Amino acid sequence: MIYFLREPNTGLIKIGKTVHYRTRLSELIDEHGDLELLGLMPGYTDQERELHQQFAHLNIQDELSGREWFKPEPDLMKFIDRYAELTLPLPIDEPEHPQSRAKFRTHLHRLMKEHNVSRMDLVRDCYLSYPTVVNWESGGMQSVRAVNVLAVMEYFDVKFEELIYLVEEDE
């Protein structure tokens, strides 16, 4: 997952990658203080490298900021506005993929059973609402917020593709 964060005092933008977004955000807040999430987008090392190259002319590279901080110039801000989302479109949100909701529900149920996790465990540990978890389990959800998916990915230590695209295991 690629993230874009703004440091409110300087306005600098951090372009980074992570599998465990909430853990990474917590680490960055401990290091830099409050940060504002500007958006998320799918991707990892290759996409992050491409973005760093695309916006290299805006890079602030010093001992304090490291190499992932960039000036908030119009071309970067337009890119974030256009391509990064606070909630990501997920395959189970698409009407043409109704089977994805059932697969997501089945996969979530399997993970919960394998890890002996209850609804209330997910609510408490992933900061989800109880109705959200019930809707996920019943298949009644209309959409899934990306931040919730990130929390569940981290909780069960699974990759995005395993939870959302539901990579089938060899039987």
Q: Is residue 170 part of a domain?
A: no
Opening angle at CA 154, ends 33 and 150, nearest 5? 75
111 in the same domain as 39: no
* 68 and 104 co-located in one domain: no
pLDDT in tens, 21-58: 777 878 888 888 888 888 888 777 888 999 999 999 99
Q: Which of 31, 66, 83 is the last residue of a domain?
A: 83
Asked if 103 and 74 sit in the same domain, the reply is: no
pLDDT in tens, 146-161: 667 777 888 898 876 6
Tell the residue number behind the tokens 């695209």, with chain if given.
165
151 near 108, Cβ under 8 Å? Answer: no
Token pair belonging to 78: 């337009």
Structure-model confidence comparison of residues 136 and 118, the more confident one: 118
The whole domain housing 51 covers 2-83
Residue 143 lies in a domain: yes
* Span 59-72, pLDDT tens digits: 987 655 567 899 99
* pTM of the entire predicted model: 0.56
**Phi/psi class of residue 5: alpha, beta or left (left: φ > 0; alpha: ψ in -120 to 50)?**
beta
